Amino acid sequence: MQSRSGKLALITGASAGIGKELARIHASRGGDLILVARRLNKLHELKSELEKACQVNVHCIECDLSQENAPEEIFNEVKNNGLQVDYLVNNAGFSIQGYFDEMDWKIIKDMIMVDVQATVKLCHLFLPMMKKRGHGKILNVASSAAFAPGGPLQTMYYASKSFIVSFSQGIAGELDGTGITVTALCPGATNTEFEKVSGLDKTDLFSIEKAFPAEQVARDGYEAMLRGDMVKLSALTALNKFVLKNMNLFPRKRVLQQIKARQERKD
């Protein structure tokens, strides 16, 4: 039986996929939750499930992280309700498959806001409170894509995840000795809504590669956060692990060609 954590976790993108599974894991260990997502009905469904099954307190915040002031709205609601966040989980993110120059600028901007700015801003808002208390944990959900030289047809997504890994390690170094740890979770192909939203469900990336359960990835990330690991790879086949480990041995142009081929739609 897991020991009860007694910690309050704030999880963005909590209505589905990895975020939803992270919420279930944390609640199963006795931790209260602040769930953040755009779909309030989905959050309320999860709230009812977790409060009934785990006897924890769950607070829901409906929020669109593509909006400029969204992180401040989250922070202010948490503060106004007298809540103290012990674990900050920046999980929200999305991507759209396609050529960068052919994408509508609003889509690109929204990806930057959700995948990059929201994570940075939430860390910036909540870290001073954690430092004042002398403890806290941050889990930033990135991707194994962060370690590729680039991602043709997913250019903004790959770039954003590279940023998140670098950013996470940078602030982890700054926070050494403060009682606060920062972990970047870097999964490979995972069964979530991501592949359908991004348009990758009709590509070799998801039709050929083995996609791992979101629950497994969430558990890997949660345990890594508790340990204070800086980077945690998850949902990788033996071949994926070999390729990542030896990425620098291959010509970059060839790697980019292979990535592009796997991300082209087959319909």
The pLDDT score that the predictor gives to residue 191 is: 84
Q: Look up residue 211 and give its two tokens.
A: 């996609």
Whether residue 177 contacts residue 242, with contact meaning beta carbons closer than 8 Å, is answered with: no
* Residue 2: inside a domain: no
The pLDDT score that the predictor gives to residue 1 is: 33
Torsion sign over Cα 185, 40, 112, 130:
negative
* Residue 1: inside a domain: no
The pLDDT score that the predictor gives to residue 238 is: 82
Whether residue 35 contacts residue 110, with contact meaning beta carbons closer than 8 Å, is answered with: no
Tell me, what CATH number does 186's domain have?
A: 3.40.50.720
Domain span holding position 157: 8-262
Q: Is 157 a catalytic residue?
A: yes
* Residue 234: inside a domain: yes
* Residue 48: inside a domain: yes
Look up the pTM and report it: 0.89
Please calculate the CA angle 15-21-25 and round it to the nearest 5 degrees: 130
What SS3 class is residue 200?
A: helix
| Helix pair angle (70-80, 118-133), 10° resolution | 30
Q: What average pLDDT does the segment 15-33 reach?
A: 97
Q: How many domains does the chain have?
A: 1
Q: Which amino acid type is present at position 121?
A: K
The model's pLDDT over 250-259, given as tens digits with 9 standing for 90+, comes to 888 888 888 8
* Residue 81: inside a domain: yes
Q: Which amino acid type is present at position 244?
A: L
Whether residue 99 contacts residue 142, with contact meaning beta carbons closer than 8 Å, is answered with: no
Catalytic residue among 87, 99, 157, 222: 157
13: left (phi over 0), alpha (psi -120 to 50) or beta: left
What SS3 class is residue 103?
A: coil
